[in-house]
Structure 1
Amino acid sequence: MIKHIVFSVFISVLLSFNQAHAARVDTVTTYSAAMKKNIKAVVVVPDNYSKDKIYPVVYLLHGAGDYYSGWIKKAPTVAITADLYQQIIVCPDGNSTSWYFDSPVNKDWKYETYVTKELIPFIDGHYQTIRDRKGRAITGLSMGGHGALYLAFKHQDLFGAAGSMSGGVDIRPFPKSWKIEQKLGSYAEYPENWEKNTVINMLHLLTPNALSLIIDCGTEDFFYKVNVNLHDKLVERNIPHDFIIRPGGHTWPYWENAVKYQMMYMSLYFNKKEN
């Protein structure tokens, strides 16, 4: 059953959580053989992280114009949720405007390959992770919301749950924005690249209940309409998902609130008995 939820409440448990517990924040450097360069990422592990236990992992993607440390600097709640839900959070660098594609027109942009084939193996090799889709999720904001759904739809063998906050889930209405045409070519010359690589056109990859989904967007956001369109198409295809709308725009106060629901949703997914 599709859940259409309007939230304006604060998760009070985060306020009451013992602040004496502080998640550990690592900055790691990974080498991308696909792009022949070093790329940084933030890795947040619970305060009581132990080598005697394995942890689920949430990959948390930043938006356009930002970088790997954006989430941890601008939304302190993220570190708290690592402790609260006993999960590792990984924030990759998406090079400001990658859109997490493997570019069909520029071989220097291979961020789909980086996240799925280089970063995940690095994290699994250096941290105590659940090395299975049942213990791995991905979400993000704006460009990162599109990237999270894009990567999860294409790599359901890697991710069991995916989310989006204020995601640019249909890039076609914005052909001159955020340097997308540098990665896909201009819409006028290469329409097939845009049609194939926009999330809203990728729903044929989904089957009901195969991927747990949560989508969140504010009613004053310039991406609100495309998110509603995505929700409607998911309903048409009978794809279960949580859909959250509430007052708010394309702002950090909105995302710091939204990420609490996303992390709670991922934790509930990780702890499902049938998962």
Structure 2
Amino acid sequence: MKIIVRAGLGILLLSGSTNQIAQAQGKKKQKSNTPFRWVNQPSKAYADVPIQHKTFRSQSMGMDVGYCIYLPPSYDKSERTGKRYPVVYYLHGGRPGSELKSVGLSSFIEKAIRSNRIPPVIYVFINGGPMSHYDYPQIENGQGESVFIEELIPHVDSTYRTIASRKGRGIEGFSQGGRGTTRIMFRHPELFCSAAPGGGGFATEKKISENEGHESDRIVFAEGYNAYDIARGYARSEKQKQYPLRILVHVGTKGSNYENNLAYMQFLKQLGIEYEKLIVKDVPHSARLIYERQGDVLMKFHARNFSDASE
């Protein structure tokens, strides 16, 4: 098993736009009082963020669903040549979902592409639904995973010049999105060649596994619908040989989920599932701070996997 450990290199200065987004996203009172919506229009605070806000019509729910998309600078220029681009789907943290939650990371992606540190790539920031990347039929229109897999991905592939196969498709997320990334990558390895779950709450996933789907007295998921049982199923199935995943688990040493990420990586090792790991020293539970210090590692991980898959 290939293991890579990288420590932090130091904090970079934030851009003004990234600071604005961090402030907009970091107001916990506002977050807790905001009702879930499948479409969330960006405010003026997002004006300098290099994303476009779009919607598609969900046939299963009969309503519009929002997403944000980052298109590299060369996208429009290459229209005549028909050039196609790989896509990374980014799963936000927190609950409930919003397509705006993680878009500040696009500033790091833009800088990396413009400075030629990574090849051009599309990033899609999804809305994970009311239970953030879970299918939860107890809530009306609560099928977060199914809307993503069955409707958003086909919409993106039919609307933009993507490499519309697993060899050009990656998935990444942090915190709640790290949990979602892990479940989805093992449930649908035929869709993704590259996966980077970060800071996932794997202690909660373990609790769900060991308590017949109960995250709490109030929240109950389908039995087996968790990152532990799904990984076991993947390890036992032919899918692991047919659709081998390249996985990079990333977490900060000061993060609240650091210890349970180490435990989950040990669990993957016991299952014989290969992975790489990125441990970022002295960073708390924050995707933004991980991107400040080691975002290039994550972006280059996906780029390398796309390149290898296309050979």
- Structure 1 equivalent of residue 150 of structure 2: 117
Match of 1:198 among 190, 203, 226: 226
Root mean square deviation, CA, Å: 3.0
Tell me the CA shift for residue 235 of structure 1: 1.3
Distance 2:11 2:86 in 1: 21
Change (3 A) 1:104 1:118: same
Tell me the CA shift for residue 170 of structure 1: 3.9
Secondary structure, in 3 states, of the residue corresponding to 1:196?
coil
Tell me the CA shift for residue 239 of structure 1: 1.6
User: Which residue identity lines up with residue 263 of structure 1 in the other structure?
Assistant: M
- Structure 1 equivalent of residue 16 of structure 2: none
- Structure 2 equivalent of residue 254 of structure 1: 290
Tell me the CA shift for residue 269 of structure 1: 0.2
Is 1:54 paired with 2:84?
A: yes
Tell me the CA shift for residue 167 of structure 1: 1.5
TM-score, normalised with respect to structure 1: 0.82
Secondary structure, in 3 states, of the residue corresponding to 1:43?
strand
Tell me the CA shift for residue 216 of structure 1: 0.6
- Structure 2 equivalent of residue 67 of structure 1: 98
Secondary structure, in 3 states, of the residue corresponding to 1:53?
coil
Match of 2:55 among 3, 14, 29: 29
Tell me the CA shift for residue 212 of structure 1: 0.7
User: 5+ residue gaps in structure 1?
Assistant: 13-21, 176-183
TM-score, normalised with respect to structure 2: 0.73
- Structure 1 equivalent of residue 19 of structure 2: none
CA contact (8 A) 2:108 2:291 kept: no
Tell me the CA shift for residue 222 of structure 1: 1.3
Is 1:133 paired with 2:159?
A: no
Q: Deviations over 1:213-247 (max 9, x none)?
A: 00011122111122111110111122211112132
- Structure 2 equivalent of residue 179 of structure 1: none
Tell me the CA shift for residue 160 of structure 1: 1.2
User: Which residue identity lines up with residue 61 of structure 1 in the other structure?
Assistant: L
Distance 2:11 2:300 in 1: 10
Match of 2:70 among 44, 49, 54: 44
Tell me the CA shift for residue 271 of structure 1: 0.6
Distance 1:186 1:170 in 2: 10
Q: Deviations over 1:88-113 (max 9, x none)?
A: 11001224x52311114334210111
Is 1:79 paired with 2:110?
A: yes
Tell me the CA shift for residue 27 of structure 1: 1.4
- Structure 1 equivalent of residue 307 of structure 2: 271
Match of 1:218 among 214, 235, 252: 252
Percent identity over paired residues: 24
Match of 1:227 among 261, 273, 278: 261
User: Which residue identity lines up with residue 6 of structure 1 in the other structure?
Assistant: R
Tell me the CA shift for residue 261 of structure 1: 1.9
Report the structure, 1 or 2, having the larger strand content.
1
Distance 2:166 2:180 in 1: 17
CA contact (8 A) 2:268 2:274 kept: yes
- Structure 1 equivalent of residue 38 of structure 2: none
Residues 165-184 of structure 1: matches in 2 within 5 Å? 165-172=198-205
- Structure 2 equivalent of residue 99 of structure 1: 132
Secondary structure, in 3 states, of the residue corresponding to 2:74?
coil
Distance 2:224 2:219 in 1: 10
Tell me the CA shift for residue 172 of structure 1: 4.3
Report the structure, 1 or 2, having the larger helix content.
2
Secondary structure, in 3 states, of the residue corresponding to 1:236?
helix
Tell me the CA shift for residue 23 of structure 1: 9.8
Change (3 A) 1:4 1:78: same
CA contact (8 A) 2:87 2:162 kept: yes
